């Protein structure tokens, strides 16, 4: 009898011990995740909920808020600046993502193999990342200025340009190009680094096998490198589109959204609503709309890239 | 890129969080009392970079003779409104803060300053200070801010270039048409020299320098209530047409088209510009570079002096608990002692109209002329002034660009509608 009992008790004790161990493991895991969870909750979830709450109210700076749903959202349609800013932001995002991705991938391929001096180039390409973005924007503002910058003088000396020229506010195209040049300079190295880690994660044996099978350089790139790099490409493209849709610093400092509002991004419109018009409710509503658009873009983007990779 | 965006998002979220907490909070600042108190309180004062020097001079002189101690913090001009808005949302406004006089109505309407109506009335100087500044700080018949500094727009001309061009350096233009003629003569000197310069990509610069000519010609810009634009007028069109012709024929330096403000002073300090409208406070800053300058009033097309009475107004932060001490400082800044020994001594324009001529101003006839202009000038008043006129995305800047470099007639008529709509937004 007792043996039967012991036999049935033993697995039960064992099970309890396993459950206890699992629970402890779970608890330890939760503890490890807690600091991040608190940070995310405090600095992302709470402000996010607050923004949504604000967007439903007329929210003066000091007086108590009053519910005015859905006024802040219907007002977005009346705001002419929003229309042009959406168009500009999308145009900028597409142009920049294509150029930045091309440049970053090109640089990553250039410095992929370990050779003499490659470390120097990797560092040189990454170095602009060490300059703060606002400082980098101011640096470009100074460099491109006709009054104080050296670039125009140099171009005049070369005979490329003649007379006065304003890169940052002469025309919409030159203003956009100046801002894009700045972003390419500042971020190409960083994206190169991420792509480089993806490239180096591809086992050399696969390249060798492809070469033995008689594949050329282009075939290897298309059939081996690109497919295996896809998860990294998905990450880089998501970061680029998100960053571009939220563009602010470069236009705020370099072009002030001009000339004639041709480089006014959507975040600049949010800034104007919040800090110039002091209409926090309206700013929150545009922010929520932008967030929804961002989520949709990211879901579609990741969905497409994942499906292809699987 | 992401990390930067996350930082920016975190900063914006923090502002929103602070704003939300501020909005939810129920406590109100200490109730105002009429007495001014000097009991050794530490007072914080915020100002924009353009006014920093004057605010600091006031504070230094006040700190020497009072127990209260004022600490001045200055912020870059463009970032200042955002700084104030986030501080207000977080209910952490300084004890005292100044504002560009044209933005004062917006801050007063938002309740960012404490009501000083009774204190101001009891001070005995209310009728002796710049009325345009007092009006700017008034909302619904209550006073929220008092005059802090005055900066007026004037014609600044380079006497050496005038002499070289065969013009009499002692005979500045008396009409806007004469201004254009003289600018063209200086422009003929050629080389790096240009006849004139203006901020063609800067709404605030154009208001400050072109509007006096519209006023001098008998036109107006906005109505008295600050809710309807009046820029679709012959006077405005003619003033723009004159400046446009100066740009088109190369009299105005080509950089005028893109001048957004930051390099405006630098262009005049280069000594290569014949005559240009600009802030009166730049007189000293340009002469520091060894350039001999003359000063003249800005005029209408056929005469009629006017000026844009700019500068700053200052009030007590709505969330300050030291309002009696803060008022002691404000009241002192309007005293004869402060206006003569701090402002006039440093070649500034006194905010007191009764002190326009004083022992310091009489030494320089140019200062007497500048001081006398205050009575002829105007300060526009509108709650939504910044969003309608000064902001780079304002409908006014679009109008300016069209009127100077595009289809002028359409720009002015469409601009009038757009600005009126912006002014009337609640």
pLDDT score, position A308: 59
**Predicted confidence band of residue B411 (pLDDT cuts 50, 70, 90):** very high
User: Helix (H, G, I), strand (E, B), or coil: what is residue A55?
Assistant: coil
Q: Highest mean pLDDT range out of A63-67, B33-37, B144-148?
A: B144-148
Give the contacts of B360 (CB within 8 A, at least 6 positions apart). Answer: B340, B344, B345, B347, B367
pLDDT at B24 exceeding the cut of 60: no
Q: For A64, which of B23, B392, B397 is closest by C-beta distance?
A: B23
pLDDT score, position A10: 63
pLDDT, chain B, mean: 89
How many other C-beta atoms can be found within 10 angstroms of the C-beta atom of residue A242? Answer: 18
Kindly calculate the radius of gyration of chain B based on its CA atoms and give it in whole angstroms: 22
pLDDT at B329 exceeding the cut of 70: yes
Contact A47 B393 (CB under 8 A): no
- Name the residue ranges covered by the structural domains of chain A: 2-54, 73-309
Question: What residues in A contact B16, CB-CB < 8 Å?
Answer: 47, 50-51, 54, 280, 284
Mean pLDDT value of segment A29-35: 93
Percent of chain B at pLDDT > 90 equals: 76
pLDDT score, position B62: 97
Give the contacts of A188 (CB within 8 A, at least 6 positions apart). Answer: A100, A103, A104, A107, A125, A128
Give the domain B35-150+310-370 fold.
D-Maltodextrin-Binding Protein; domain 2 (3.40.190)
How many other C-beta atoms can be found within 10 angstroms of the C-beta atom of residue B229? Answer: 29
Q: Highest mean pLDDT range out of A96-100, A138-142, A154-158?
A: A96-100
**B404 with B200: CB under 8 angstroms?**
yes
User: What is the dotted CATH code of the domain comprising B152-309+386-424?
Assistant: 3.40.190.10
Q: Using alpha carbons, list the distances in angstroms from residue A269 to A246, A290, B254, B320.
A: 11, 11, 30, 31
Contact A62 B111 (CB under 8 A): yes
pLDDT at B25 exceeding the cut of 50: no
User: Helix (H, G, I), strand (E, B), or coil: what is residue B231?
Assistant: coil
Q: Using alpha carbons, list the distances in angstroms from residue B11 to A38, A168, B15, B47, B85.
A: 17, 27, 6, 22, 14
Mean pLDDT value of segment B383-389: 95
Q: Please tell me the distance in Å from B346's CA to the nearest CA on chain A.
A: 30
pLDDT score, position B15: 44
What tens digit of pLDDT does each residue of A63-113 get? Answer: 899 999 899 999 999 888 999 999 999 999 999 999 999 999 999 999 988
Question: What residues in B contact A164, CB-CB < 8 Å?
Answer: 253-255
Between CA A122 and CA A200 the distance in angstroms is 14
Between CA B213 and CA A56 the distance in angstroms is 45
Taking alpha carbons only, the member of B278, B8, B97, B402 closest to residue A252 is B8
What tens digit of pLDDT does each residue of B161-176 get? Answer: 999 999 999 999 999 9
pLDDT at B32 exceeding the cut of 60: no
Contact A258 B201 (CB under 8 A): yes
pLDDT score, position B34: 57
What tens digit of pLDDT does each residue of A270-288 get? Answer: 999 999 999 999 999 999 9
Q: Got the DSSP string for A227-288?
A: HHHHHHHHHHHHHHHHHHHT--HHHHHHTTT-STTTT--HHHHHHIIIIIS--HHHHHHHHH
A58 pairs with which residues across the strands? A66
pLDDT at B378 exceeding the cut of 60: yes
User: Helix (H, G, I), strand (E, B), or coil: what is residue B200?
Assistant: coil
- Of all residues in chain B, the one with the smallest CA distance to A247 is B5
pLDDT score, position B30: 42
Q: For A166, which of B14, B258, B266 is closest by C-beta distance?
A: B258
pLDDT score, position B220: 93
Give the length of chain A. Answer: 310
- Of all residues in chain B, the one with the smallest CA distance to A278 is B85
Least confident of A110-114, A288-292, B6-10, B229-233: B6-10
Percent of chain B at pLDDT > 70 equals: 92
Contact B8 A59 (CB under 8 A): no
What tens digit of pLDDT does each residue of B247-281 get? Answer: 999 999 998 998 888 889 988 999 999 999 999 98
Least confident of A8-17, A56-65, A93-102, A114-123: A8-17
pLDDT at A41 exceeding the cut of 50: yes
User: What is the dotted CATH code of the domain comprising A73-309?
Assistant: 1.10.3720.10
The token pair at B337 is: 């002692």
pLDDT score, position B27: 36
pLDDT at B414 exceeding the cut of 90: yes
- Name the residue ranges covered by the structural domains of chain B: 35-150+310-370, 152-309+386-424
pLDDT score, position B359: 86
Q: For B110, which of A62, A164, A246 is closest by C-beta distance?
A: A62
pLDDT score, position A3: 52
Between CA A247 and CA B65 the distance in angstroms is 50
């Amino acid at each position: 009898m007792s043996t039967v009992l012991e036999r049935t008790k033993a697995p039960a004790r064992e099970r309890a011990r396993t459950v206890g161990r699992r629970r402890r493991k779970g608890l330890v895991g939760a503890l490890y995740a807690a600091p991040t969870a608190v940070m995310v909750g405090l600095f992302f979830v709470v402000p996010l909920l607050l923004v949504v709450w604000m967007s439903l109210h007329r929210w003066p700076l000091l007086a108590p808020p009053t519910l005015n749903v859905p006024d802040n959202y219907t007002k977005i349609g009346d705001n002419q600046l929003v229309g042009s800013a959406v168009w500009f932001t999308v145009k900028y995002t597409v142009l920049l993502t294509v150029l930045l991705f091309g440049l970053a991938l090109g640089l990553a391929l250039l410095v992929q193999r370990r050779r003499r001096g490659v470390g120097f180039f990797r560092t040189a390409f990454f170095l602009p990342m060490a300059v703060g973005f606002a400082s980098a924007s101011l640096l470009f503002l100074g460099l491109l200025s006709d009054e104080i910058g050296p670039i125009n003088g140099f171009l005049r000396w070369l005979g490329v340009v003649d007379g006065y020229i304003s890169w940052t506010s002469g025309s919409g195209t030159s203003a956009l190009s100046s801002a894009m040049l700045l972003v390419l300079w500042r971020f190409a190295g960083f994206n190169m680094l991420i792509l480089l880690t993806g490239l180096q994660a591809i086992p050399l044996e696969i390249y060798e096998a492809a070469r033995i099978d008689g594949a050329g350089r282009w075939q290897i790139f298309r059939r081996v490198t690109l497919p295996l790099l896809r998860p990294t490409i998905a990450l880089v493209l998501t970061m680029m589109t998100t960053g571009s849709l939220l563009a602010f610093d470069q236009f705020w400092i370099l072009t002030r959204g001009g000339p004639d509002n041709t480089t006014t991004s959507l975040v600049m419109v949010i800034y104007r609503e919040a800090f110039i018009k002091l209409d926090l409710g309206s700013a929150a509503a545009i922010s929520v709309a932008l967030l929804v658009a961002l989520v949709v873009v990211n879901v579609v983007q990741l969905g497409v890239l994942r499906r292809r990779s699987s | 890129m992401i990390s930067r965006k996350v930082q920016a998002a975190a900063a914006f979220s923090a502002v929103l969080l602070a704003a939300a907490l501020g909005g939810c909070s129920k406590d109100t600042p200490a109730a105002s009392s009429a007495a001014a108190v000097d009991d050794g309180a530490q007072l914080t004062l915020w100002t924009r970079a353009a006014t920093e020097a004057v605010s600091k001079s006031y504070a230094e002189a006040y700190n020497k003779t009072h127990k209260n101690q004022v600490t001045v913090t200055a912020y870059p001009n463009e970032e200042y409104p955002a700084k104030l808005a986030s501080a207000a949302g977080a209910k952490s406004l300084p004890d005292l803060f100044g504002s560009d006089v044209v933005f004062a109505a917006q801050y007063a309407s938002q309740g960012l300053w404490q009501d000083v109506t009774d204190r101001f009335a009891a001070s005995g100087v209310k009728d002796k200070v710049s009325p345009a500044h007092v009006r700017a700080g008034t909302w619904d018949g209550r006073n929220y801010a008092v005059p802090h500094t005055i900066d007026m727009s004037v014609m600044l001309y380079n006497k050496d270039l005038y002499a070289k061009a065969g013009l009499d350096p002692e005979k500045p233009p008396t009409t806007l048409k004469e201004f254009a003629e003289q600018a063209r003569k200086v422009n003929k000197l050629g080389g790096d020299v240009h006849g004139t310069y203006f901020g063609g990509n800067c709404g605030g610069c154009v208001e400050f320098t072109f509007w006096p000519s519209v006023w001098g010609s008998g036109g107006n810009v906005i109505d008295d209530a600050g809710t309807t634009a009046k820029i679709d007028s012959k006077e405005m069109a003619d003033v723009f047409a004159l400046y446009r012709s100066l740009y088109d024929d190369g009299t105005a330096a080509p950089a005028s088209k893109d001048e957004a403000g930051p390099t405006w002073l630098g262009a005049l300090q280069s000594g290569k510009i014949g005559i240009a409208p600009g802030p009166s406070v730049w007189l000293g800053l340009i002469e520091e570079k060894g350039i001999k300058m003359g000063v003249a009033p800005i005029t209408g097309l056929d005469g009629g002096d006017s000026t844009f009475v700019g500068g700053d107004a200052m009030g007590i932060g709505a969330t300050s608990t030291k309002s009696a001490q803060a008022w002691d400082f404000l009241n002192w800044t309007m005293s004869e002692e402060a206006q003569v020994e701090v402002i006039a001594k440093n070649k500034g324009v006194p905010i007191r109209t009764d002190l326009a001529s004083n022992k310091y101003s009489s030494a320089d006839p140019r200062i007497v002329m500048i001081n006398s202009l205050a009575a002829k000038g105007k300060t526009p008043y509108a709650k939504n002034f910044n969003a309608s006129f000064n902001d780079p995305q304002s409908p006014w800047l679009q109008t300016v660009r069209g009127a100077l470099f595009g289809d002028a007639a359409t720009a002015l008529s469409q601009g009038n509608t757009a600005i009126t709509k912006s002014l009337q937004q609640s």
